[in-house]
Structure 1
Amino acid sequence: MAGVRKRIPNSRPGGSHLLLTNRTVNPPKKRFKLEARHLVFLVVGLGVGFGVMSVINSIWMSSRVYTPFERQEDDLVKYDMSKFWGTYRPQVYMGMKTKSPQSLVTGLMWLQQYENYRTDLPLRHTCEQGDKLLRYGWLAHDGGRFGIQDIVERDFVLRTEFVKRDGGDNGGDWTWRITGRSQNDGNPIALSLFFYAATDGQGSIASVISEGKNGKQLTEIQGETMELGKFVIKFPSELSGKQGLYHTVTAKSEGLHKIKDTALRKMQATKAKRKNQDKLFYFLGDTPNRSDPPNTKSDVIFYQVTFELPFEIEIVFESTSFQNRRDTLAGPKFTSLLASIKDKFDKKFEKKFPLKDKGYGPEEIQFAKAALSNMLGGIGHFYGHSLVQSEYQNNPVKYWDSHLLTAVPSRSFFPRGFLWDEGFHQLLVSKWDRSLSEEIIQSWLGMVNIEGWIPREQILGDEARSKVPSEFVVQHNTNANPPTLFLAIESIIEAFNVDTITKKDREFLKKIYPRLKAWYNWFNTTQAGKQPFTYRWRGRTADSDTELNPKTLTSGLDDYPRASHPSDDERHVDLRCWMAFASDTMAKIAVVVHPEIPAEAEKYAATHRLLTDNELLKELHWSSDMGLFSDYGNHTDRVFLVRRTFQNPQPGQPPTTRTVRVEKQTPKLQFVNSYGYVSLFPFLLQILEPDSDQLNQILQDMRGDDNLLWTHYGLRSLSKRDSMYMKRNTEHDPPYWRGQIWININFLAVRALKHYSTVDGPFAGQAQELYKALRKNLVQNLFEQYSKTGYLWENYNDINGKGQGSHPFTGWSALVVLIMSEQY
């Protein structure tokens, strides 16, 4: 029988201990004598116990990287069915889908006929810079109901227009109109359009073939999916323009990313006379010798129609659930509705962005509309999972399957979600359609895992993954990205009327606050520096011998020069400033979400005060020798790329050569002293006091010497005097953030100049002068480059202002609209 338990009072009031007494019912047993064998058993037992606990802990820790913050049943978002359908496939020249995990997708391809192509057929489908189109992009797009896009080839122009109409329970109806006109006054042009509808692993579609004037042709596609119910896609029986041939084929595809390959697999060719010459005509048809590949998951129906330009064709989608439809959205009805919605778009644009009042003319206003429209038309819906890895895993694992609604940076080169870009995107989108922006922000925050981490690139689904080099697919949970979503959220909060905040506004903040809190805490625990009140970007490669300066991709500034030898001693001034900004936004949200708990907001406000303490900021990051804010770390600027010869490990093979980094000076802990965008961050995020000597220094340096940052086209990313200016980072990597002009940082600069020109301080006049000059330079150059090339660009040359990098860059370069309208 167990010993009787007797309570012994604790010295603390109300406390107690439990003690076993020696009073027992049975005679006392012999005292246990510890022997060597017992000690061995004890040690082994403890070792096994600790080993088991270690394994359990490792399994638990490894699972955290792919565990959602909480259940994602509704992904934080209740979808607005009026925006259920959209041009959510920005990676194709023209395509639509729904916000469904396995959506029905529609798309367009085209091919110029009667050309004897020597290599691969130039079948246009996905946006490719290699297609070398003279121009393509949205001229008008409201983010929901309509869009007008021109696609300019060398000899002809395609215009794609769409209009949506609400009705029924499944997102309503929509119609496409595609027109073509020649830019070649000589030879007639024959063009084949290939419209397709495809399933994505669920649902069914079937062709309806009817007899027409030109024989049998596809007149309808009938189908049904889980989200859409029953629907029909209608094709015209007669076309305007000189009509040619119809073809249709039903096929199987491995997935949406293989639709073009499926079309090419079904393509056949026949000889045709064209001006007394033998030319080839390409058409879709069943090819007995080319079987469908295994593991197909998509049913695809292609509709090919061929005619000479000019032409016009309309394709109509109708939802069966729309039962009180009065007429088909086609012909004059389409024209009338398109004109009405376009007129509303123009009026809304002028109300939101009153550019006439700013002195801009019709061409500049049309440029601004195109910039906004390309941002809105570049919004994509993706579904799938990322591949992620933590230090507890030897191989990548799957993140959970999730939706993502995001504006992509570039339809041709970056058709996926980027965390650092999205905050800048939503600065513009939120000014146009706040509910759409809030939906996108909530969608991104649905990616927060239980650790509070968000993968910085979202590569969801086969279509997105097919455009990404393998080395960038896996995301590591130690790596951050600038928390720019706080920029957009701060902008949205400023649009609230704090005294009369609506229930809807409060609900939005309540939804996002727990996830923002987890994300913010993740930054403060994983990206903290070695020294108190400092921060350090993770993800740099310390042992690289090929990079002139190891990249810091996680900062968003990629190859911008940091400490030459990555170490735990680094402290990064830009990350500190981002966290100062985030702390202030968190405090503002907490006031709304938890007004009954003042301490909730105060803890963030206190952090904000500490991180914006100008004296502490100077102590940690001000380089007195150079007179600039700087990173700190193990550094030397005496590093060079040199081509060296190495013995070939393969016997009998000649030596190999490659470029390696050579150090001609031993690094030491010091300020990095590169002058560029990073040096400006305390100014860019408005952390400096208006009377700060450091602010005065920054304003003087900004325009004081054309060899520093100032150009006629915007602020360059790195001073021309810097040893890294326009230097390659490896033999294969050209400079990226080493002199080029980037619009997102220039937007922050004009925003900061506007701020410092309007607050009391001795440098307000100087800030105002710089503001006017920089704003004028940016707007003028982007407009001129768009007029010359037809595109917004990823970045701009600091010597001649020319657009460069990926194009069209539908992302943060569109912030020019806010710069023009002076909305910061």
Structure 2
Amino acid sequence: MSKQKKSPSHDKEKKHHKDKERSDPQEKEEEKSSRMSVKSILTFICLGIACCVGYKGYLETRVNTPFDSPKVVTKTGLAVPDRYWGSYRPGTYFGLKTREPYSPVMGLMWYFPTRLGPGGEGIRHWCEQGDHLEHYTWAQHDGKHFGVQDLVDGPIYMKTSFLKRQGGTNGGDWTARVGIYPREGVREGETINLVFYSAIEGLTNKGKLTPSSHSHITGVVGETKELGKFVMRYYNISGKIVKHSYLSVEAKGLSLLKETIITTLRLVSDKTTGMKHFVLPGDLTHFKEGKVEPNFVATQLEVTIPFELDVVYESGSFIDRPNTLVGEVYADELAQRMEDFHIKFEDTFGLKKKNFTDDYIDFAKSAFSNLVGGIGFFYGSSRVQSEHTQTPVPYWKAPLYTAVPSRSFFPRGFLWDEGFHGLLLASWDLDLELDIMSHWFDLMNIEGWIPREQILGMEALAKVPEEFVTQTNTNANPPTFFLTLRYIIQNYVERLTEEDRLGALDRLYPRLVTWFEWFNSTQTGPIPGTYRWRGRDAKTNRELNPKTLTSGLDDYPRASHPTDYERHLDLRCWIMLGSATLAEIAKLLNRDSYKYADTYSYLSNTNLLDELHWSEEMQRYADYGLHTDDVALKRPPPPPPPTRPTQQEMIRVVLTEPRDRYVDSTFGYNSLFPFFVHALNSNSPKLQKILTDLRNPELLWTDFGLRSLAKKSPLFNKRNTEHDPPYWRGNIWINLNYLTLEALNYYAKLEGPYQQQSKDLYTELRHNLIKNIYDQYIKTGYIWENYSPKNGQGRGSHPFTGWSSLVVLIMSEKY
């Protein structure tokens, strides 16, 4: 058999197989490397996704993460005994509580049994403008020890007062006196029902309340962790009790106490006299399944007019009290506190030395006392939102010690209002003001933002429309605490340098720095040296000029078409004031002040200010933006048939297209901000122009104060929607009139060609403001939110003894 011959193809196959064998390990390595590369990419992608999700989660939590720094408030509750109990429920006509998160509250309701309407109409409890009380005002209040309040409700004059006494380890004692006295129209033997109560917020594990029948009037025996054991007794000082009843029940919350009374009242007939009386039904907790502890105990007394009642609270830890604070003992100690108040008031404000009459001084005492009596203690969490959260989220729970603008309409904390309140409070009691400021800055989040409106607790929340509850972390509010701090440094620096106060300022400092940096980064404009309020609605067609709530000036006219390129004059000046104040504080604390002094130097450069905000055409400072004055509110035509015609809401119609320009046809408070912050040289022609325009009756001047917007401005006294009347479009506001007087007083002391003009304007404006606010108080019984430029009449909410109480500093000439 012959030998087989190998073919070329076979050799090639064999070679290919050998080559394949040699290349397999390389291919395997390449495949392995490729698989590893895919794994790495997938790992990196997963890590990237995880990082993005984690970072997104981090951004979401920043809005409600507290600032990472030691708390400014280091002492509270029982550690500050002279401020432990107080009238810290400003939204009620008369109420007391402690500075504890879940304090028991005590309060008063009253009604005329012959005038009680369906649904409880006629019961007085929360301060309500709709109650139409002719007058209610704290006549004296020192913020620590006592308060005396006058109220006029139809045919009666009522006086409520309280007095505290230190002792023991759990907050000491207090007594409240309620007096009812007749006016014209009271029939002989007419009665009124008084309801004095105590209640605990939330679950009953916060403490215990039990009705006490140790005497002929049902009192209360209670206990909480902070207060220990206590009793509350009632003493009939004068007058006749016609009917006595009480209520012990589980209430659903402090915001529903009046409703609880209304739903439990019973109308019964007296078997002896046949007279009908409204009574409370007693202990209702026995009628519920299971063991229910009451958290609301109320005592009702139907009494003849006149009548006086002492409500005595005594702490179980006060074992060595000399006597009970009741009757003549109470009257004597209260009289001494009132005398001390009068002496301190004159020492502080010196109104007798300025030749004010007793009537004007009593008015000033009332204005001041209402601000102090409007200090509240709140606890709860705000509702906040950021661009990184899909829905609003709760802020952390925290306390807030703050004055409120209006007991009836705004019984809660407002950031920019509080800076003005602080000017008056610091004059009276620097420690009290530093305490308030410290509470506010403990509400700062990690971003350096403080919610501008504080709605803490169910009572506060019940008074706020839903649209205003959520606070957005891009939105600012004027940083008026820098105004307060500047005032303190200028007037009370020697007091501020004492150890405890300097310590408070030292703890405040990192938060002040972060707050300032938050403003100086989040509220800036695209051009260096420009600033813009966030929060304006660029898409609305309902508003004639979109509101700028964040500025505090609400409907004050700005650029008609909001854009990112607006320049807001007032905000720039607030930042300038903040930088100057921070530089002063840094020097006081021996910190490096260069950065803030440099910022102030940059922002106070008048050449730059003029370049960005001075209108040569109108010769005034102004905002800049996309603007037209030619806008109007018009009603759209009805829809075509067969649609049923309904009246549609008026919308804005732009008659002339906007263009980038100064908003210089508007002249008002905003135009004065460079003047407010002393940005102008004493010999500047621009200063003369401002002074001249101030005194022009066709612009801002009236016999009652400076109107907020010039009569010649296109939106003067114009409604912003068909439902919203003008607010900052002509009305006279006391806070910015105060800033005007402060600036006039400043330039009146500087040598220059306009010194005398500043003096003359200062004297005349001060006189006009004081006289009108006093006249309206005498005429109406109230200090008002703002005043009419036409006739000086009070407008807006009342009583408004937030920044309108600055009239006391105007009288005192403290700036």
Shorter-normalised TM range: over 0.9
* Cα distance between partner residues in 2 of 1:812 and 1:499: 24
The question of whether the paired residues in 2 share the 8 Å contact of 1:566 and 1:633 is answered with yes
Matched, 1:619 2:619: no
Q: Does 1:66 align with 2:70?
A: no
Encode CA deviations 1:454-475: one digit per residue, 9 max, x unaligned: 0000000001000000000000
1:802 and 2:800 matched: no
- The answer for the alignment partner of 1:412 in structure 2 is 408
Q: CA deviation at 1:591?
A: 1.1
2:50 counterpart (40, 49, 52): 52
CA contact (8 A) 2:708 2:731 kept: yes
Structure 2 match to 1:336: 332
Is residue 222 of structure 1 aligned with residue 221 of structure 2? yes
* Percent identical residues: 46
Q: What is the letter of the counterpart of residue 167 of structure 1? A: G
Q: 1:550 to 1:184 in 2, by over 3 A?
A: same
> 1:398–1:118: structure 2 CA closer, same or farther, 3 Å change rule?
closer
Is 2:121 aligned against 1:121?
Answer: yes
The residue number in structure 2 matching 1:19 is none
The residue that corresponds to 2:682 in the other structure is: 690
The verdict on how the C-alpha distance between 1:656 and 1:499 changes in structure 2, with shifts beyond 3 A counting, is closer
1:489 to 470, 475, 485: 485
Change (3 A) 1:783 1:228: same
With over 3 angstroms needed to count, the CA separation of the structure-2 counterparts of 1:157 and 1:621, relative to structure 1, is: same
Structure 1 pair 535/45, CA: closer, same or farther in 2 (3 Å)?
Answer: same
Alpha-carbon spacing, 1:33–1:768, altered in 2? closer, same or farther (3 Å)? farther
User: Does residue 819 of the first structure (1) align with residue 815 of the second (2)?
Assistant: no
Aligned counterpart for 2:733 among listed residues 742, 748, 760: 742
**What is the match of residue 573 of structure 1?**
569
Q: Which residue of 2 aligns with 1:191?
A: 192
Instruction: String of CA shifts for 1:574-603, please: whole Å, max 9, x gaps.
Output: 00000000001101111122x2x5xx2010
- What amino acid maps onto 1:234 in structure 2? R
Q: Write the mapping of 1:138-287 to structure 2, written as runs, cut at 5 A.
A: 138-185=138-185, 187-188=187-188, 189-201=190-202, 202-210=206-214, 212=216, 217-218=217-218, 220-236=219-235, 238-270=236-268, 281-286=277-282
SS in 1 for 2:722: coil
RMSD: 2.6
TM-fit CA distance, 1:210: 4.0
Deviation (angstroms), 1:49 = 3.1
Which letter does structure 1 place at the counterpart of 2:516? Y
Seen in structure 2, the aligned counterparts of structure 1 residues 511 and 74 have a Cα distance that, compared at 3 Å, is: closer
- Looking at structure 1, the residues matched to 84 and 186 of structure 2 have their Cα atoms a distance apart, in angstroms, of 44
- CA offsets per residue over residues 343-402 of structure 1, 9 Å max, x none? 000000000011111110000000000000000000000000000000011111110010
Please name the residue that 1:601 is paired with. Answer: 593
The answer to whether the Cα contact below 8 Å between 1:197 and 1:300 also exists between their aligned partners in 2 is yes
Shift in Å, 1:506:
2.0
- Structure with max Cα Rg: 2
Work out whether residues 65 and 390 of structure 1, in 8 Å CA contact, stay in contact via their aligned partners in 2: yes
CA–CA distance in 1 between the matches of 2:472 and 2:270? 56
Q: Indicate whether 1:665 and 2:656 are aligned.
A: yes
Query: How far is 1:75 from its partner?
Result: 3.9
Q: State the distance in 1 between where 2:294 and 2:660 align.
A: 57
AA partner of residue 221 (structure 1): V
Q: 2:637 aligns with which of 629, 640, 645?
A: 645
Letter in structure 2 aligned against 1:528:
T
Distance apart, 1:152 and its partner CA: 0.2
Residue 727 of structure 1 aligns with which residue? 718
Cα distance, 1:298 vs structure 2: 6.9
Following TM superposition, by how much is the alpha carbon of 1:150 offset from its aligned partner in structure 2, in angstroms?
0.9
Separation in 2, partners of 1:288, 1:48: 61
* TM superposition shift of 1:668: 1.1
Q: Which amino acid aligns with 1:308?
A: T
Q: 2:781 aligns with which of 778, 790, 803?
A: 790
Of the structure 1 ranges 535-544 and 168-177, higher mean CA displacement relative to structure 2 is found in: 168-177
Please report how far the alpha carbon of residue 70 of structure 1 lies from its aligned counterpart in structure 2 after TM superposition: 2.8
For the residue of structure 2 that corresponds to 1:711, the secondary structure is: coil
Q: Number of paired residues?
A: 784
Task: Give the match's secondary structure for 1:351.
Answer: helix
- Partner residue of 1:768? 759
1:814 is paired with a residue whose SS is helix
Distance 2:807 2:151 in 1: 23
Assess if the C-alpha contact under 8 Å between 2:543 and 2:720 holds in 1. yes
Match of 2:532 among 520, 533, 536: 536
For the Cα contact (< 8 Å) 2:786–2:794, is it kept in 1?
yes
- The structure where strand makes up a greater share of residues is 1
Report what 2:14 is aligned to.
Answer: none
Cα distance in 2, alignment partners of residues 290 and 429 from structure 1: 48
Correspondence for 1:324:
320
| 1:731 match: secondary structure | coil
Counterpart Cα distance in 2 of 1:77 and 1:149? 29
Per the TM alignment, residue 235 of structure 1 is displaced from its structure 2 partner at its CA by 1.3
SS state at 1:740 partner: coil
Does the 8 Å contact 1:253/1:292 carry over to 2? no
Return the alpha-carbon distance in structure 2 between the equivalents of residues 288 and 352 of structure 1. 52
What is the CA-CA distance between 1:168 and the residue it aligns to? 1.1
Aligned to 2:250, the other structure's residue is in SS state strand
SS at the partner of 2:610?
helix
Compute the displacement of 1:496 (Å).
3.9
Are 1:756 and 2:747 matched, yes or no?
Answer: yes
Give the deviation of 1:73 after TM superposition: 6.6
Q: Which secondary structure state, in structure 2, belongs to the residue aligned with residue 96 of structure 1? A: strand
Question: 3-state SS of the aligned residue for 1:658?
Answer: coil
Distance 1:118 1:105, change over 3 A: closer
**TM-score, length of structure 1 as denominator length:** 0.91
Distance across 1 between alignment mates of 2:731 and 2:418: 21
Residues 713/159 of structure 1: CA separation in 2 closer, same or farther (3 Å cut):
same
Change (3 A) 1:295 1:437: farther
Secondary structure of the 1:108 match is: strand
Counterpart-to-counterpart distance in 2, 1:297 and 1:444: 35
Say whether residues 1:436 and 2:432 are aligned partners. yes
Aligned to 1:16: none
Match of 2:476 among 475, 480, 483: 480
Letter in 2 for 1:629: Y
**1:35 and 1:548, CA in 2 relative to 1: closer, same or farther beyond 3 A?**
farther
How many Å apart are 1:323 and its aligned residue? 1.3
Contact persistence 2:106–2:196 (CA under 8 A) = yes
- In the alignment, residue 610 of structure 1 is paired with which amino acid? Y
Distance 1:660-1:509 versus aligned 2 partners, 3 A rule: same
Write the deviation string for residues 520-540 of structure 1: whole angstroms up to 9, x where unpaired.
111011101111111000000
Structure 2: gaps spanning 5 or more residues: 1-24
What are the equivalent positions in structure 2 for 1:520-531 lying under 5 Å apart?
520-531=516-527
Matches within 5 A, 1:385-464: 385-464=381-460
Runs (5+) with no aligned partner, structure 1: 1-26
Q: Is the 8 A contact 1:480 1:555 kept in 2?
A: yes
1:509 aligns with 2:505: yes
Say if 1:298 and 1:656 are closer, same or farther in 2 by CA, change over 3 A: farther
* TM-score, scaled relative to structure 2: 0.92
Cα separation, partners in 2 of 1:749 and 1:656, compared to 1, 3 Å: same
User: Which range is displaced more, 180-189 or 673-682?
Assistant: 180-189
Aligned to 2:4: none
Report SS of the residue matched to 2:245.
strand
Q: Secondary structure at the match of 1:607?
A: helix
The aligned runs of 1:702-717 (5 Å cut-off) are: 702-703=694-695, 705-717=696-708
Check conservation: 2:73, 2:435, Cα contact below 8 A.
no
